[in-house]
Structure 1
Amino acid sequence: MPRINAPTVALHRAERRRALLAAARALLAEDPRHPPTLAAVAARAGVARSSVYEYFRSGEDLLRELVQEVLPNWSRRVTEAMAAADGPGDRVLAYAATNLRLVAEGEHALATTLIESVPGDEVNASTQRMHEQMSTPLRAALSELRLPDPTSTAGLIGSVVYTASRMIEAGADATATEERVRELLGPFLSQHVR
C-alpha cells in the first residue's frame, strides 16, 4: 500500500487531488497558451504519472475540473467586492476594478485557455453561470441608480471593462488602466446618485 501523508486515506486523496489541480493551474499560469500534459502536471506535483490516472481519466478531465474551480472563484471575488462597496455607484466601480485586477493577476488568460481547451456544453454552462452571477448585481446597482435601461448600461460597462482588460493583457499598466476606467465611469455614476 502506498505511503500516505495525512491522517486518513480520504484526506490523503483529497490533498493529492488538490496538489494536482494546483500543479495544472501553475503550469497554465506560466504558459496560458498551452494546456499542460498529465506528465507535466505529475512532475510539478511530485507524483508518478501513473498516479494521476487515479484521480483524472484524462488531461481534459483534469482541466474540466479546474474550470469548475476557476470560474466560480472569479464570480465570487467580483460579487464579494461589490457587496462590500458602500453604494450602487461604488458597487459598479468595484465590479470594474475587481475584474481588471483578476485580469492583471492572469486569471483571464487562465480562464480563456481552460474554456478553449475543454469545449462543450458543461463548460459553456459554467461560463454563462459565471457571467450571470456577476451581471445580476451589476444590473441591480444600475437599477438602484434609477438608470432607464440597466441591462444596456451593464453591457456598455462590460464593454469598457473588456477593452481595458485587453489593454492590460497587451502590456498596459494595470493600475493606470484601472484609474482611467474609474475616471471614465465615476462622473457618469456620480451624476445618477440621488
Structure 2
Amino acid sequence: MPRINAASLAEHRAKQRRALLDAARDLLADGSAAPSLAEVGRRAGLARTSLYQYFSSREELLDAVIADVLPGWRERIHVAMSAAATPGAKVAAYIEANLALVDEGEHAVVRGLATHARDRMATAGGELHEEIGRPLLEALGGAEALAELVQSVVYTASRMLEEGRDRATVTGHVATLLGPFFKSLDD
C-alpha cells in the first residue's frame, strides 16, 4: 500500500494532484513537447501507474492544467486593477500584472498549452482574453482602439521579457512610453 504523506487521504490526494499539475506546468514552461503522463510522473516523483488515479489521459491532464492556470491569471489582473483608484492607474496595473505573470513564467505555460492543447485553449484562451480585457476596456471608457494599442504594448513588452530582458528595464520603458497616456486618462 502506498505511503500517505498527509493528515488524511483526501489531503494526500490533493497534494499528489497538485504535484502532478506543477510538474506538467514546469514541463510546458520549459518549452518541451506536450508532456506524456510518464514524463509528468517522473518530474513529480510518482509511479506511472499511480498517475491514472488522478488523470486517465494526457488530454485530461492538460485540461486540468488549463483549469488551473487561466483563473489564476484572470484573478491577478482583476485584483491589481481593483486596487488602483484612477483609470490611468488601472491601466498601468493591468500592464504591470500581465508583465509580472509573463516574467514569472505563466505565459510560457499558457503558450505551451496553446501549442499542445490548441482546440481546448482556443476556447479557454478566448474567454480569458475577453474576461481580463473587460476591465481594461472599462478603464478606457469603452475605447476599443485604445485597448488594442495597450494590448500591443503588453504583447511587445511580454516578448522582450521572454527574450530575457530585465523586467525593471522593460517596465521602465513602458512607463516612459505610456506615462503621459496614464496621466491623460486621469485628467
TM-score normalised per structure 1? 0.89
Q: 2:110, 2:55 → 1: CA distance?
A: 20
Listed as ranges, the gaps of 5+ residues in structure 2 are none
Q: 1:116 — aligned with what?
A: 115
Alpha-carbon distance, 1:108 to partner: 0.9
Conserved? CA contact 1:42–1:52, under 8 Å: yes
Conserved? CA contact 2:78–2:135, under 8 Å: yes
Q: 2:28, 2:122 → 1: CA distance?
A: 20
> Is the partner of 2:186 in helix, strand or coil?
coil
Q: 2:74 — aligned with what?
A: 75
> Is the partner of 2:140 in helix, strand or coil?
helix
Listed as ranges, the gaps of 5+ residues in structure 1 are 144-148
Say which of 141, 166, 169 aligns to 1:176. 169
Task: Confirm whether residue 14 of structure 1 aligns to residue 14 of structure 2.
Answer: yes
Alpha-carbon distance, 1:60 to partner: 2.2
Q: 1:49 — aligned with what?
A: 48
Conserved? CA contact 1:79–1:133, under 8 Å: no
Q: 1:32, 1:71 → 2: CA distance?
A: 18
Conserved? CA contact 1:79–1:134, under 8 Å: yes
Aligned CA RMSD, in angstroms, stands at 1.6
Q: 2:20, 2:3 → 1: CA distance?
A: 17
Conserved? CA contact 2:140–2:185, under 8 Å: no
Alpha-carbon distance, 1:45 to partner: 1.6
> CA offsets, 1:89-113, max 9 Å, x none?
0010011111111111111111110
AA of the residue aligned to 1:162: Y
What percent identity do the matched residue pairs reach?
48
AA of the residue aligned to 1:28: L
Q: 1:61, 1:43 → 2: CA distance?
A: 18
Q: 2:123 — aligned with what?
A: 125
Conserved? CA contact 1:32–1:109, under 8 Å: yes
Alpha-carbon distance, 1:65 to partner: 0.8
> CA offsets, 1:145-173, max 9 Å, x none?
xxxx6111101110111011112212222
> CA offsets, 1:108-152, max 9 Å, x none?
1111101211122x4222111211121111111111xxxxx6111
Aligned residues: 187
Q: 1:146 — aligned with what?
A: none
TM-score normalised per structure 2? 0.92
Q: 1:102, 1:192 → 2: CA distance?
A: 25
AA of the residue aligned to 2:164: G
Q: 2:104, 2:7 → 1: CA distance?
A: 34
Q: 1:141 — aligned with what?
A: 139
Q: 1:103, 1:10 → 2: CA distance?
A: 33
Conserved? CA contact 1:60–1:117, under 8 Å: no
